[in-house]
Amino acid sequence: MEKIKMTTPLVEMDGDEMTRILWKMIKDELLLPFIELKTEYYDLGLEHRNETNDQVTVDSAEATKKYGVAVKCATITPNAARMTEYHLKEMWKSPNGTIRALLDGTVFRAPIVVKGIEPCVKNWEKPITLARHAYGDVYKNTEMKVPGPGKAELVFTAEDGTQTREVIHEFKGAGILQGIHNTEASIESFAKACFKFALDTKQDLWFATKDTISKKYDHTFKDIFAEIFEKEYKEKFEEAGIEYFYTLIDDAVARVMKAKGGFIWACKNYDGDVMSDMVSSAFGSLAMMTSVLVSPQGVYEYEAAHGTVQRHYYKHLAGEETSTNSVATIFAWTGALRKRGELDGITELSEFADRMERATLKTIEDGKMTKDLANITSLKNVTVLNSEEFIKEIRKTYEEM
């Protein structure tokens, strides 16, 4: 069989620990036998980030802007323990944070739904994709403890020196204060990425804030979304047969619990933090969650939502067998290859991605899976496979399909 050819390279961002081990297995068993894989390789493993003073992360993000599609392995975000473990020169920032900032992107997380792993919420038949605004609000706050009686004010000083004031509260005793902000530019990028991704995946888009209470702050989010929708996306949505739906955040939460799924839920930063953990745990397993960063210009970076699975890596280093789930990492590759196929008009590449995803799901539905899934499946007569056996089994399923 002739291998599928590519024209434009994928930006390949290698990573750390157990996911780096899976990365190589996936390439060797599931990709290289079938595709003349063309990638521009960036090693984002922590050692190489340290050697290059993290320049490699910046370079990989720039390459993503240039080519349009990247696939990323999970990477270590350094903390104090990693400083000693890897003899780091500095506590390098989270690569995901750096890449997201450079691409001005929004992260969309979606569960991979498979028969035998049922969501806790019975009526969720299709995935719910969560989009979290990743800038500002409480994550860039300024806080103060108020020691006793006094007046708190919000003051804005314009460049020409003119001031606008708003009384926050006349304190009678001790209390607390918090200042938060956001920018129109960031909200616009968020809105554009959401509309673009909804069109791309042909799913309805839901957005919610608390604009009835927050008549300026949250209302601005609502207005920016509405303006961009009217101006740039309304007709395209109608053509695609999808809907943009705005409601209050508490109403959205209630509706999500009763919904069938199959839509994108765009959330402000804090709502997204909280709700993405709820949605992902209710769908079963972090190891079955994909993540794609989409820029307002339509640049895509695909990855698994989970981390480097450190605990399994230490077992692997000690020579013990691991049963680490590679599904989300496989879907990062297939997501990126499918997008590359779409952009370059290579149908076989997109079809390969579809078929490899079906083979992965069929393997699980046939009762062959890693331990994390075996622990939660409703299927009977399950065979628990180790990390490598599972990937080899997917290859077998693919070749038999």
- Which partner in Mg ion, ligand NAP, none is near 96 (CB below 5 to 8 A by kind)? ligand NAP
Does the protein bind Mg ion through residue 77 (CB under 5 A)? no
Query: Total binding residues for Mg ion by CB under 5 A?
Result: 2
Cβ burial, residue 147 (10 Å; 0-12/13-18/19+): exposed
In whole angstroms, the minimum distance from the beta carbon of 274 to Mg ion comes to 7
**CA atoms of 59 and 295, how far apart (whole Å):** 17
Does the protein bind ligand NAP through residue 5 (CB under 6 A)? no
Structure tokens, 127: 């995935």
- Which partner in ligand NAP, Mg ion, none is near 54 (CB below 5 to 8 A by kind)? none
Q: Which range binds ligand NAP by CB under 6 A, 70-78, 130-138, 217-225, 228-236?
A: 70-78
> What is the x/- site pattern for ligand NAP, positions 313-352, by CB under 6 A?
-----------xx---------------------------
| Helix (H/G/I), strand (E/B), else coil: 299 | coil
Residue 131 contacts residue 87 (beta carbons within 8 Å) = no
Does the protein bind ligand NAP through residue 211 (CB under 6 A)? no
Closest-approach residue to ligand NAP (CB): 307
| Residue list 235-294, contact with Mg ion (CB under 5 A) | 273, 277
Give the N- to C-terminal CA distance of the chain in Å, as an integer: 15
Phi first, then psi: what are they for 322, rounded to 5°? -120, 155
Contact partners, residue 399, CB within 8 Å, separation at least 6: none
| Category of 18 on φ-ψ map: left (φ > 0), alpha (ψ -120 to 50) or beta | alpha
Taking the least distance from each CB to Mg ion, the nearer of 230 and 277 is 277
- Which partner in ligand NAP, Mg ion, none is near 273 (CB below 5 to 8 A by kind)? Mg ion
Taking the least distance from each CB to ligand NAP, the nearer of 271 and 372 is 372
Locus of tokens 């006349």: 170
**CA atoms of 48 and 363, how far apart (whole Å):** 35
CA angle 135, 229, 213 (to 5 degrees): 55
Does the protein bind ligand NAP through residue 110 (CB under 6 A)? no
Residues in contact with ligand NAP by the rule CB under 6 A: 74-77, 96, 286-287, 303, 306-311, 324-325, 372
What is the binding site for Mg ion (CB under 5 A)? 273, 277
